[in-house]
Amino acid sequence: MHSTDTAHHVSFEHGGVHFVVMPELCFWIEAQVGTAYWFQYAEAIVNETSSTIDLCRAEQVELYGVPLTGRVYAKIFDAGSIWQQEWDLQFTEGMAWVSRRG
């Protein structure tokens, strides 16, 4: 996995797909786990969410976080269309748990 990051914006190449973790999700992660660990948690969330996305169809995935609802949303872009998936995200005892929503 290749990654680049700037202040609270991070992108990864995973399975040939460009993943962008948007600032809202980065700030949420940092608020839960601290400045020293937010990048590793962002990478782990990309790994978990990517396992439920059809990467053969995707060109880019943008991940958004909504702390109020406890959800992570993905905008998935392919050649000419966009679709969305969502997951629940919980932080407990130093761990982040991601589970797919219907």
Domain boundaries, the chain: 2-100
CB of 88 within 8 A of CB of 70? yes
Which DSSP symbol is given to 81? -
pLDDT in tens, 4-54: 554 567 999 988 899 999 999 999 999 999 888 888 999 999 999 988 888
pLDDT in tens, 67-87: 999 999 999 999 889 999 999
CB of 21 within 8 A of CB of 46? yes
Handedness of CA 40, 43, 45, 51 (dihedral sign): negative
Instruction: Indicate the pTM of the whole model.
Output: 0.86
CB of 67 within 8 A of CB of 81? no
